[in-house]
Amino acid sequence: MSVSNGDQKCVVSFHNISYKTTVTKMCCKKSEKHILRDVSGVFEPGVSAILGPSGGGKTSLLDILAKRRDVGKDEFSGSILLNGKPLPNYYKHIAALVKPCHSVKPGT
């Protein structure tokens, strides 16, 4: 994820991010699924990495931090700050998330 505001270096911090959604299982049985629980961290200028197993919530976290996920009916809590302050209204216009278009396999 990258955030740029002209020549200004930006730091994105996130605190106690929790995210859960309602999942419909076989034959209309609904249950809540916790995707993220109390996740905190900081992205400073430069290269950052998020590592974890498949289904661990990495993409959900990045989508939420980049304001690319509509969490309308889902439950979201926590705070996201830009340089220590609440996100400005124009944040979606300065934040970028580039998703990979292919998998990188060893030996290729």
- Which sequence spans correspond to the domains of the chain? 2-96
Q: Does 3.40.50.300 match the CATH number of domain 2-96?
A: yes
Q: Are 97 and 48 in contact (CB under 8 A)?
A: no
pTM comes to: 0.76
Q: What string of DSSP letters covers 75-101?
A: EEEEEEEETTEEPPTTHHHHEE----S
pLDDT score, position 43 = 92
pLDDT tens digits, 57-99: 998 999 899 888 776 667 889 999 999 999 999 888 888 777 7
The sheet carrying 2-5 orders its strands as 8-9, 2-5, 95-96
pLDDT tens digits, 7-55: 678 899 999 999 998 888 777 778 888 999 999 999 998 888 888 999 8
Which residues make Cβ contacts (< 8 Å) with residue 19, sequence separation at least 6? 34, 35, 36, 57, 60, 64, 71, 74, 75, 76, 77
Q: Are 67 and 97 in contact (CB under 8 A)?
A: no
